[in-house]
Amino acid sequence: MAERLPSAIRTRVTDLLGIQYPVIQGGLQNLGRARLAAAVSEAGGLGLVTAGCFEDPEEFRSELRLARSLTAKPVGVNITIGIRRNMADHLAVVLEERPAAIFTAAASPEQFAPKLREAGIPWVHVVASVRHARKAESLGVDAVVVVGTDGGGHPGQDEVGTFSLIPRAVDSLKVPVIAAGGIADGRGLAAALSLGAEGVQMGTRFVVTKECELPAAVKELYLAASELDTIIVERSLRKNLRVLATEAAKHIAALEARGCGPEEIIPLLSGERHREAVARGDVQAGLHSCGQGVGLITEEISAGEVVRQIVAQAYAQLTRVGARFGD
């Protein structure tokens, strides 16, 4: 029987962002483009166009405009500060284009805080620890995304799981918390809301969708993976990156475990190297960011379907759980 899709889930996050469901497609390096973001937003969640996909700020502007032409609903942006570059030029574009929300991530956004606050656009910062969440709150963010070590991409150095981290963040902050890391279905959304989060951000689940522009061979790798098939690389650089356990990833982790220095590790991490490997179909030679929730993904569906399924499943799950309580 198809699960019932509620018309809305209302939290401080949905009120802040002007969206129907508190389901956010997080920043996705190389993949967070217009079609995907617009599809998530059109289904009632919030899609983010990822600034880091675009070297040229003007290309980023065009992609953001494209996303906004594909849906009348709110579309946001993700700006990852300081991983590849400072991103001041991309931020200038964002402040001119005024998307529905700005999600900053990675380094401290302190240098940009006055401009972001003055712009009056909802501002969310992505963190992986309670101390960074508190710092972001003190800088004036409207909400935080808190990512547990289960998550794909850079889930921080502390390696605390989502289940332990989210309630600690909720108890420590006044601003709303959006949970991330290992959430890939409606049970994850139900759990996050139960832990006190007011929304979820997902990365890995949205990678395996029809609108995500990733070669089929790489999507197959995600579909075949279980919760055991991810690995953390870049620990030695204090930049933990959770990826699929490809041959390349295992090689890097082994070198790090042997104590090899940055001069040997950094060349193996280049984005160019990764893109070339994917282009020639050698998926094992690539680094593919991936969360531990990957084992829950069994099919490629549209991004809109992901949003609808997750909301309907969370509602069914919470209804079932509620019915277990006696008087």
Q: Using CB under 6 A as the criterion, which residues of the chain lie in contact with ligand FMN when the complex forms?
A: 26-29, 31, 50, 52, 78, 80, 105, 126, 147, 150-153, 180-183, 201-205, 207, 289-291, 293
Residue 272 CB coordination number (10 Å): 7
Which amino acid makes up residue 59? E
Q: By C-beta, is 78 or 246 nearer to ligand FMN?
A: 78
Longest dimension (CA), the chain: 63
The CA-based dihedral angle spanning residues 256, 258, 263, 265, taken in that order and rounded to the nearest 10 degrees: -30
Q: Which is nearer to ligand FMN, 190 or 207 (CB)?
A: 207
Nearest distance in Å: CB 232, ligand FMN: 13
Contacts of 282 (CB under 8 A, 6+ apart): none
CB of 254 to ligand FMN, least distance (A): 22
The minimum distance between CB 202 and ligand FMN, in angstroms, equals 4
Tokens of 280: 């020639």
Compare residues 260 and 285 and give the one whose CB is closer to ligand FMN.
285
Structure tokens at 4: 């019932």
Q: Could you tell me the CA-to-CA distances from 25 to 1, 32, 307 in Å, in that order?
A: 27, 9, 9
Nearer to ligand FMN, 113 or 189 (CB): 189
Report the chain's C-alpha Rg in angstroms. 19
User: Least distance to ligand FMN from the beta carbon of 29, Å?
Assistant: 4
Q: Which residues contact 272 (CB under 8 A, 6 or more apart)?
A: none
| CB-nearer residue toward ligand FMN: 84 or 280 | 84
* 246 secondary structure, DSSP code: -
Residue nearest to ligand FMN (CB): 203
CB of 126 to ligand FMN, least distance (A): 5
| Least distance to ligand FMN, CB of residue 32, Å | 6
Pick between residue 48 and residue 265 the one whose CB is nearest to ligand FMN: 48
Alpha carbon 224 to its chain's center: 21
Q: To the nearest whole angstrom, how small is the minimum distance from the Cβ of residue 129 to ligand FMN?
A: 14
Neighbours of 257 (CB within 10 A): 10
- Would you tell me the crossing angle of helices 186-194 and 303-323 to the nearest 10 degrees? 60
Whose Cβ is closer to ligand FMN: residue 229's or residue 264's? 229
